[in-house]
Amino acid sequence: MYLLVDCVLQRNVPRASSFLCRVDVGVESGYLPASWSGLSVDVYVPTVFENYVADVEVDGKHVELALWDTAGQEDYDRLRPLSYPDSHVILICFAVDSPDSLDNVQEKWISEVMHFCAGLPIILVGCKKDLRRDPRVIEELRKTSQRPVTPEEMMVMMMDMDMG
The enclosing domain of 82 has a CATH number of: 3.40.50.300
Q: Distance between CA 27 and CA 24 in Å, rounded?
A: 6
11-30 pLDDT, tens digit per residue, is 333 333 334 444 444 444 44
pTM over 0.85: no
pLDDT < 50 stretches in the chain: 1-2, 8-37, 39-44, 164
Give pLDDT, residue 11: 37
Predicted confidence at residue 66, as pLDDT, reads: 81
Contact of 98 with 50, CB cutoff 8 Å: no
Q: Which of 90, 92, 119 is nearest to 105 (CA)?
A: 92
What are the residue ranges of helices labelled H in 42-150? 99-104, 110-116, 135-142
> Quick check: 1 and 26 in contact, CB under 8 A?
no
CA atoms of 107 and 96, how far apart (whole Å)? 17
Containing H/E element for 6?
A: strand 2-6
Nearest to 6, CA basis, from 134, 132, 141: 132
Containing structural domain, residue 93: 2-160
CB-based contact 69:21 (threshold 8 Å) = yes
Task: Say how many domains are in the chain.
Answer: 1
What pLDDT is attached to residue 120?
87
Question: What local confidence, expressed as pLDDT, does residue 6 receive?
Answer: 54
